Amino acid sequence: MRQPANLRKWVWLCLVAGVIFWGGRSLHQVDPQQVGLSAVQLNQLETVIKAAIQAKDIPGAVICVGRKGKIVYWRAYGWSQLLPVKKKMSRGMIFDLASLTKPIATATSIMILVERGQIRLRDKVKQFVPSFRAYQGKEGEEKDALIWHLLTHTSGLPPYAQVEEIQKSFGRPCQLEQMVNYIAHLEKLSPPGKTFRYSCLGFITLAYIVEKVSGEKFDVFARRHIFQPLGMTKTFFNPPEEMKSSCVPTEKLPDGILQGIVHDPLARLLGGVSGNAGLFSSAEDLALFAQMMLNQGQLEGVRILSPLSIRRMTEVFPLASFAGRGLGWDLSSAYASPRGDLFGPRSYGHTGYTGTSLWIDPETQTFIILLTNRVHPEDKGSVTSLRTRVANIVAAAVLE
C-alpha cells in the first residue's frame, strides 16, 4: 500500500513544482476610469445578470471584463449550485467550459503545430486519419476534407454522433483513436468548404491529429504548451479530486449531479479529454488567455503563438467567408451572440453549451468573460439574450 501513496505524493509534488516553475499569474484590477471605461455604465451589468437569475435563466454567474491589460470588473452573482444544498457563487470558481475547449485548447494546439512546420492547414485529414471518408458526389467524384475545413466547421461532418452506438461498439471509456475511426467512416453531408455546419466531431478529430503529430496526449500537450506557460493554474481536463469542490456543478443526471466531470456526452465517453469539450477553467485564468490573444500571442514575455497566427485565427477565413468563422474562433456566425450589437467586425470569441462565453475585441483592447451554469440542475436555462445584453453594456462603457 505504501508504493501507491508514495506515487500519488510524487505526482502531486511534480504538479506543485510545475506551478512554482511557471508561476501563477493574474492581471491587475483597476478602476474602469483608468483605462477609459465608464464605471456607471459597467454597473448596469449587475442589473441584467440579477434579472437573469431572477427569471431562472441561470442559477448564477461570474463575469470578468478587461481592457488594456487590466481587469476592470470581476464579480460573482447568485448560486454555484442549487442542489443538494444552495451554495453561493464566488469569483474564483472553476467552470466546465464546454465548447470554449475548441478555440482555447484545440485550435491553439493545431496552430502551434502549424508554426512548427509539422502540419499545414491544407493537409488532407486522411493524411493523419487514413480511414477518413471523402465526400461522395452524385457523379462519383470524391472530395477530401482538409484541416482548415475542420477548424471552420465546413468539412461536411455531421454535428454530433450517437453516444450509445459508440459505447456499444467500443465500451466506456472509449479510446480517442476508436472514436475518430468511427467519425472517419461517417457519411459526409456536404462537399468540404461549401456548407457551414457546426460540428463537435471535427474538433475531436483535430485533437487526435495533435496527438498523432506531437506524440503527446492531447491534454498533456495543451497543458505543457499553453496553460502552464501562461500561468493558468486552474485550467485542466479532468480536475484533480482536491479541486472538484471548487468546480461549479452542471446537470443533475439519474446517477447524480455532475461536478468536476465534463457535461458533454462525447467528451465524457472519452474519459473527459476531448477536442470539442472537457476543459475546465476560472475567470482569472481565462483573462490571462484573452490578454495573450490581445497581445498578439504573448503574455509577460511568454510567447504561445506568433502575431500572424493570431491574425489568421481571428479573421474570417477567406476560403469559407460564408461561415463567418476564423480558425477555431467565431466572428459573425449565427452563434456569435456574445459579440452584441456594438463591437466591430474584428471582434471574435466563442460560446460553451454549459453557459460560458468569451469575447475579445482587438479594436478596443477589451475582453468579456461570462461564465454561467445554465444547465444546473436541469438543462433548461438560456443565456443567448444575456450574452448580447452584457456585450452591449460593456461596449457602451468604452469612452476613449
- The answer to whether residue 126 is domain-embedded is yes
pLDDT tens readout for residues 271-324: 999 999 999 999 999 999 999 999 999 999 999 999 999 999 999 999 999 999
Query: Any idea which of 9-13, 54-58, 66-70 has the lowest mean pLDDT?
Result: 9-13
- Binning pLDDT at 50, 70 and 90, where does residue 15 land? very low
Q: In the predicted model, what is the mean pLDDT of residues 353-381?
A: 98
Asked if residue 78 belongs to a domain, the reply is yes
Give the residue-averaged pLDDT of 83-90. Answer: 96
9 is a domain residue: no
pLDDT score, position 18: 45
Residue 11 is assigned to a structural domain of this protein: no
Enumerate the β-bridge partners of residue 395. Answer: none
Residue 117, phi-psi category: left (phi > 0), alpha (psi -120 to 50), beta (remainder): left
Domain with residue 44: its CATH number is 3.40.710.10
C-alpha cell at 98: 464546454
What's the CA gap between 264 and 262, in Å, rounded?
A: 6
Cell of 46: 449587475
More confident residue, 26 or 154: 154
| C-alpha neighbours within 13 Å on the C-beta side of residue 323 | 29
Asked whether residue 363 is domain-assigned, the answer is: yes
Determine the Cα–Cα distance for residues 369 and 74; give it in Å rounded to an integer.
Answer: 9
Residue range of the domain that includes 137? 25-396
Query: Which residue from 285, 294, 399, 289 is spatially nearest to 346, judged by alpha carbons?
Result: 294
Judge whether residue 21 has pLDDT over 60: no
Residue 202 lies in a domain: yes
Mean pLDDT of 40-48: 98
Alpha-carbon Rg for the chain in angstroms: 21
How far is the C-alpha of 102 from the C-alpha of 329, rounded, in Å? 8
In a domain, 316, yes or no: yes
pLDDT band at 379 (very low <50, low <70, confident <90, very high): very high
DSSP string covering 147-212: HHHHHTT-S---S---HHHHHHHH-SSPPHHHHHHHHHTSPPSS-TTT-----HHHHHHHHHHHHH
pLDDT at 8: 41
Instruction: Determine the number of helices (DSSP H) and then strands (DSSP E) in the chain.
Output: 15, 15
Question: What integer pLDDT is reported at residue 138 of this predicted model?
Answer: 82
pLDDT for position 141: 86
Please spell the DSSP secondary structure of 45-70, one letter per residue: HHHHHHHHHHTTS-SEEEEEEEETTE
Residue 13 within any structural domain of the chain: no
pLDDT of residue 328: 98
**Total tally of structural domains belonging to the chain:** 1
Cell for 139?
Answer: 457523379
Residue 12: all three cell numbers together: 502531486
Q: Say which residues have a Cβ less than 8 Å from residue 246's Cβ, sequence separation at least 6.
A: 92, 93, 94, 234, 239
Whether residue 14 is predicted with pLDDT greater than 80 in this model: the reply is no
